[in-house]
Structure 1
């Protein structure tokens, strides 16, 4: 069973999202998703998330609070939620086409504008799951 760890990171009322590459065969190509990725053998979800954040945005995150888990017949997704202590300019995009801080109003439209591509792209299913969980959280 495939397992992934994903980070829902908030800064000043907006959420950090990644525009995934347009590569056929990857999960949700060309859509906005959360930073994170698969667990390597023997790796815990929090270890995988720390590794992925370092690989994807060059950020050594430390411990992030676990938020919720979502399971399907194909995949288990571990979601973590935290504030982002750094400004966007201090992060280095090493994987994906773009990254932005998107407000809930924009995310609720189902698409986010990419400054680099100069176009709006849809949300990945994992980001939609996280938004649904946010709506349920008091």
Structure 2
């Protein structure tokens, strides 16, 4: 394994036929800056991906993950993404966004076209490339959720 690779745990959260995504901050030095992505983050030393995804989702939106399942692992040259999925059992207004620019429930059509309007940004913003790929895989493999 390449020691430069970072391990992250991210969550696909779905409600009816929509998916909760985070509009990442528009900061040049972060990955997929200003793009829609999945909630989650770095796995701390000694943490399992399962523990990390629960911690990150709680930190970023104040949501206690219900029982969840692993979806897959998406490595590239810099990051190994451990992807999980769970239902979103609360309304959007019950979540508290503590990281990121905006959040929204995106449709499968939004994900397929690769962008979505953000009320906070006041404009259409793109999906991060890898996050779009993960979501398209999930939609294809779980048509009953869409």
Shorter-chain TM-score bucket reads over 0.9
The structure 1 residue matched to 2:26, chosen from 19, 22, 33, is: 22
| CA-based RMSD | 1.3
Moved over 3 A (4+): none
Deviates most, 93-102 or 123-132: 123-132
For residues 18 and 84 of structure 1, what CA distance do their matches in structure 2 show? 14
The structure 1 residue matched to 2:12, chosen from 8, 13, 25, is: 8
1:8–1:130: 8 Å Cα contact kept in structure 2?
no
Structure 2 spans left out of the alignment, 5+ residues: none
* Structure 2 residue 53 is matched with structure 1 residue 49: yes
The structure 2 residue matched to 1:137, chosen from 95, 120, 141, is: 141
For residues 42 and 130 of structure 2, what CA distance do their matches in structure 1 show? 13
* Structure 2 residue 34 is matched with structure 1 residue 40: no
Q: CA deviation at 1:134?
A: 2.1
The structure 2 residue matched to 1:97, chosen from 96, 101, 105, is: 101
The structure 1 residue matched to 2:122, chosen from 113, 118, 125, is: 118
For residues 11 and 118 of structure 1, what CA distance do their matches in structure 2 show? 24
Aligned to 1:75: 79
Aligned residues: 138
Aligned to 2:88: 84
* Structure 2 residue 40 is matched with structure 1 residue 61: no
The TM-score normalised by the length of structure 2 is 0.89
Q: CA deviation at 1:24?
A: 1.7
1:66–1:79: 8 Å Cα contact kept in structure 2?
yes
